[in-house]
Structure 1
Amino acid sequence: MDGFNWEEYLNFSKEANDTSSGNPVDKVVPLCLKSNVIQFGAAFLPAFYYTNFLLSLVGNGLVLCIIYKYEKLTTVTNIFLLNLVISDLIFAFSLPFWAVYHKSEWIFGSGLCKLVGSCYSIGFNSSILFLTLLTFDRYLAVVHAISAAQSRKKKYAFASSATVWVLSILASIKDIVFYNVMNGQNGRLCEMTGYTQSTLTKWELIGYYQQFLFFFLVPLVMVLYCYARITIRIMSTRMVEKCRAVKLIFVIVFTFFICWTPYNVVILLKAIKTSFGDPTNCSEALDYALYITRNFAYLYCCISPVFYTFLGKKFQRHFLRLLAKRIPCLKINILLSEPSSKSASVRSPTQITGHSRD
C-alpha cells in the first residue's frame, strides 16, 4: 500500500528477497521497528478507513441514484461524473481490507493482496484524473463555448474516459507485479516483495515521483489555470450572481489544494529521504505526517462526486425530489424552488461552476 512500507520497520534481508527466483540477496536493511508509529496506525487508521468507506458508499451511491433516475448519459459532464463515481467506488473497495491489515495482519491471501493493491492504485489515480478532466471540460464549456461546442460530444467523453483508465492501469502495473504476501515479525504482510531490495527501492521511488508529478503537480496546475480563466470569464459577464460563482470557485480550488497538497508534499519528502537520506535514520516524523495527511486526500477522493455534483442547482433539486418521495412535506418546498420559465432561460453561475449542465 502506498506509503505503508513495512520494509522500513523490519529487517527483510532474507524475507523480502526471494532467492528462489534467482535474484541475488541485497545488503542487510537497517532494523527500524518504529513500534510507536505502528501502534498509532493500528489505533487510528482503521477508523478513518471505515469512515471514508461508508462516506464513499453513501455519497457515491446517492450520485449514482440521481444520475439513474433523473439524468441520462447523453452529456459529457454526466459521463465524466459516472466515471468519477466508479473510480471512487473502486478505491473505496480497498479501504476495509487496509483497515483490517493495519489492525492486525494480512489475512486475505496472495490473490486479494494483488487485487486490492491494484484497485487502490487504479481508483486513487483515476479519481484525481477525472476531477482534472471535469475541470478542463468546464473550462472548455465556459471559456471556449462556441469553438468547443462541436468537439464536446459523447465520442470525446468516452475517448477521454478510456484514456484516463488506461493511464491509471499503466500506473498501477508495478502494484500488480510486486505486491505479494510475506511473513514478517508481526505476522503476514501484503507489501512489495519478491525482488532484491535495490529493485524494490527503485520502484518505490518511481511510485513516489509518479504520484507527485503526474497525479498532483500536473492536475494542480491545470485546475488552477482552468478556474482562473473561468473566473475571469465570469467577471467579464453581466451575471447577477457573479460574486457567488467566484466564491464557489474559491471553495473548489481551496478544498482541492488543502486536501491534496500536504499529502503530496510528504510523498516528495519521503522520495528525497529515500534517495539522499541516511538509511540508518529511523525518524518517525514523516511516518506520522503521512498517516495524517493521507486521510485528507482519501476523504476528498471519496466525497468528490458529491462535492462536485451538489454545487449545481439542478442536482440539488434532484436530491430534494428524491427526498420528497420519502418525505411528502418537501414537495411544497420543491415546487417553490423550481425556477420559472423566465429565470430558467438565464444560465446561472452555479451551472457553470457546479457542472449542472453540459
Structure 2
Amino acid sequence: MFRSRRASLIQQLWRHRCVAPGLDESHGPLKPAAHALFKKLKDQELELLLQAVASKGAGESGCVWVEPRGSKLGLPASLLLCRLYRWPDLRHPHELKRLSFCKSAGAEGTIQCCNPHHLSRLTIPETPLPPYGKISPFAPHLKGPPSILDNNCRGWQDTTLSRRSLRDGYWCKLAYWEYRLRVGRLYPVHEDYVNVFFDLPASSGFCLGQLPSRNRCQAVQRTRAKIGQGLLLSREANGIWAYNRSDHPVFVCSPTLGAPPASSGPIVQKILPGYSIKVFDYERAGNLVPGWPGSNDGPYDTHAVRISFTKGWGPHYSRRFITSCPCWMEVLLNTPR
C-alpha cells in the first residue's frame, strides 16, 4: 500500500513536468536524474512538491528539503527541478534567485529547499547602469526639465505621494492607481515581504480584487482580470526585489535601475512571468541627486518605484506615461536605513 502510494506520487510528479516545444523530455536525460531525486525524498516532501507543481506556485507550498548534492547529471536538485517544471532552457544556478519566504534563503546547511516555486529567474537589465558618483536618475546631458507642452503633457497632475506621510515602522506603503485615479487607501507594509494580487487563494497581502471603484472602464477590467497572482515584493539586505507571480509581464520603473543614453527619464524594465529583479538598490540610492520636477513622467521621487500590470509605457510603447496605464502601483519607500 505504501509502495503504491509512493509510486503514484512519483508518477504524478513526472506527468506535471514542463516539456519544451519540440522536445520530448520523457526519453531525455532528465528522467533518470529526476527519478533518482524523487526516490531520495520522503513521502511528505513528495506530497509538498506535488502540491507546488500542480498549483504552479499558487498555493502556500512549504519547503522541500534535500541534501545539496548533485544529481546523476551533476546538477543541483533545485536546478534540476526548475528545468523540469518551470524553465527547460535553464542552464546555470546563477540564473536563479531564492525567494525571501523560503526558509533556506540566505542560510547554509546540510539540507536545502529544492521547491522550484521557491525560486525565481533573474531578469537581466536591458541597459548598463550609470557610473558611480553623484548621479541623476535621468540623462546627464540635460540642463533642465523638458517643456510640458513639448511632451504633450497638458493637464498632467502629480501622482507622487509624499514619503513624509509615512509613519515609522513601515518600510513602504503601496498606492494602487487606475489611470490617473488612486483607488483605495495606502497599504502599509510591516513584514519583510508582501504579496500583491487580484485573486490568490489561501494567501495574505494587498488584494487588488477587493478594492471597489465606480464606473471602471473595460480596459481597466480586462487588465485587472490578468493580474492573477500578481507579484511579490520583498525587502532584503541589498535592496527591494520584485518577483512576477502572474501569467503576464509587469513593468517597473525605478531611479536605481539607471537610464538609457539620451533619455529624459529612467528606464522601464519588463519582468516576465517567473522572473525577479532588484527594483531598488539602497547603496545606489545614496548616490542619487533628487529628481527635478517636470520630467517626462512628472515629478519623480528618488525613493519611489512604479509598477504597471501587463502594460508598458515610455518611448518604446504606445503609452508614453504611466498615468496612461490601466492598472499600476507606486511603492513608496521610507528613508533608507
Structure number, greater radius of gyration: 1
Q: When the two structures are superposed, what TM-score results if normalisation uses the length of structure 2?
A: 0.27
Q: When the two structures are superposed, what TM-score results if normalisation uses the length of structure 1?
A: 0.26
The structure whose residues are more often strand, as a share, is 2
